[in-house]
């Protein structure tokens, strides 16, 4: 039986400037989100963060000899464990944006739908359903 490895993904970094000429614009939006999540952590006290690529349904943009797929979007999910618990998700485009981060805020359910992943599956089902299906922007420290 032949085993096919999972698709490769690439996240641009400062060393990827040749293959990703728009990196400075992309970095700005993601950098703002990273800084915001640090503020969440300081304000809330205890959070869990999950980050990754949102892979295209069909391989599109690739780089390098190994044809590494470059995602067109990335996600970040934040779970505030301090009472009252809450969750928020973000789906950020890989082409950069100057829009406010709140414009990219989505429910964790929306991130799960886009990625096919199930986050925080160890949280009791009823609580997981409640937390993952709603976001209240005002409840977070912007």
The predicted pLDDT at position 69 comes to 83
- Exposure string over 84-102, b if 16+ CB within 10 A, otherwise e: eebbbbbbbbbebbeeebe
In the numeric block, which tokens belong to residue 134? 């709603």
Dihedral in degrees, nearest 10, Cα atoms 93, 127, 40, 11: -30
What average pLDDT values come out for the chain (142 residues) when binned by 10 residues? 40 43 60 95 95 85 85 95 96 90 98 96 96 96 93
Instruction: Please confirm whether the linkage preceding 45 is cis (ω < 30° from 0).
Output: no
Q: How far apart are CA 134 and CA 80, in angstroms?
A: 13
The predicted pLDDT at position 35 comes to 95
Q: Residue 12's closest CA among 26, 1, 2?
A: 26
The predicted pLDDT at position 14 comes to 35
DSSP string, 59-117: ---EETTTTEE--SEEEEEEEE-SSSPEEEEEEEETT---S-GGGGEE-HHHHHHHH--
């Amino acid at each position: 039986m032949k085993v096919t490895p999972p698709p490769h993904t690439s996240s641009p970094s400062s060393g990827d400037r040749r293959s990703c000429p728009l990196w400075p614009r992309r970095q700005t939006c993601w950098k703002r989100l990273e800084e915001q999540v640090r503020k969440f952590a300081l304000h809330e006290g205890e959070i869990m963060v999950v980050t990754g690529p949102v892979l295209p349904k069909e391989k599109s943009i690739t780089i390098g000899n190994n044809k590494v797929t470059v995602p067109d979007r990335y996600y970040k999910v934040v779970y505030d464990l301090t009472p009252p618990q809450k969750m928020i998700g973000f789906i950020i485009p890989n082409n950069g944006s100057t829009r406010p981060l709140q414009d990219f805020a989505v429910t964790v359910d929306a991130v799960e739908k886009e990625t096919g992943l199930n986050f925080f599956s160890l949280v009791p089902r009823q609580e997981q359903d409640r937390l993952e299906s709603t976001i209240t922007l005002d409840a977070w420290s912007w």
